[in-house]
Amino acid sequence: MTLTMEYGAILVALGFIAGIINTLAGGGSNLTLPALMVMGMPADVANATNRVGVWLQCASGMAGFKRHDKLDTQDIWPVLVPSLIGGLLGALAAAWLPTSWVKPLLLGTLLAMTVVMLVKPTTLTPPPGTPIKKVKDTPSAWLGLCLAGFYGGFVQAGVGFVLLAALCGTLNYDLVRGNALKLACTLAFTTLSLLVFIADDLVHWLPGLLLAIGTMTGARVAVKFAISANPKTLKLFLFVMTLVGCIAAYAF
């Protein structure tokens, strides 16, 4: 694999777009993974290298939300515990179940979310002023976060949408605070998987870090946009990205 100046610039640019998409919704890897494979990387190496950009994007986005006081730090661990338990179960399932299950699960999940957003939009975007629930007091939140974690461990692609459904749908976070906690969960998932990929020597660091320059910058821009944007605009963006995710899942 040869990394030219042109490919390097493309990785930074696509990383920037993916950083915005991942921070505000999900599915940015639909851009970056094909780009890495076009460069000549096998799918497993591209998947591993892509996690470098995802990890640093999550860290950058979390720092931005915290700086604007939109990251509920006291809720991070209660949210992480069930999602990581589900993630472990999902990873185990991925090791045992046939890969032919991945595409139907991905497409079915995204289509279900699209229908829910059309039929009952308050499920993902609770009305302003709705009290936030605590995980310990909400059994349905435990189930929702476990399922989101399972999906993330099994499929990974589009996990941001599922996490938002759990965080906003069961705990009543608005999309800004929900996205902040979503990044915390994704950072935790990605840390575990990236360590495994590094141990297996699957990460190509230069393309991964070029991608990360773009994703970190995109995350910073997305945080500023999320803080100042109208909630209806964020909801529309989430809906559009869900549709795009459906198309990408069907196409690939």
Amino acid 81: pLDDT: 92
Amino acid 128: pLDDT: 76
The band of 77, judged by pLDDT with boundaries at 50, 70 and 90, is very high
Q: Give CA–CA dist 109/1, Å, rounded.
A: 35
Average pLDDT (11-29) is 90
For residue range 111-168, list pLDDT tens digits in order: 777 777 777 766 677 777 788 988 888 888 898 899 888 887 777 667 888 888 889 8
Average pLDDT (215-243) is 88
Amino acid 250: pLDDT: 66
Question: Which amino acid, one-letter code, is at 132?
Answer: I
Handedness of CA 148, 162, 179, 128 (dihedral sign): negative
The band of 200, judged by pLDDT with boundaries at 50, 70 and 90, is confident
CA atoms within 13 A on the CB side of 138: 22
Distance from first CA to last CA of the chain, Å, rounded?
23
pLDDT at 194 over 80: yes
Amino acid 170: pLDDT: 86
Residue 234 CA to chain centroid, in angstroms?
16
pLDDT at 70 over 90: yes
Give pTM, 2 decimals: 0.84
CA-nearest of 141, 146, 135, 136 to 82 is 146
Give the count of beta carbons closer than 10 Å to the beta carbon of residue 8: 16
Amino acid 205: pLDDT: 95
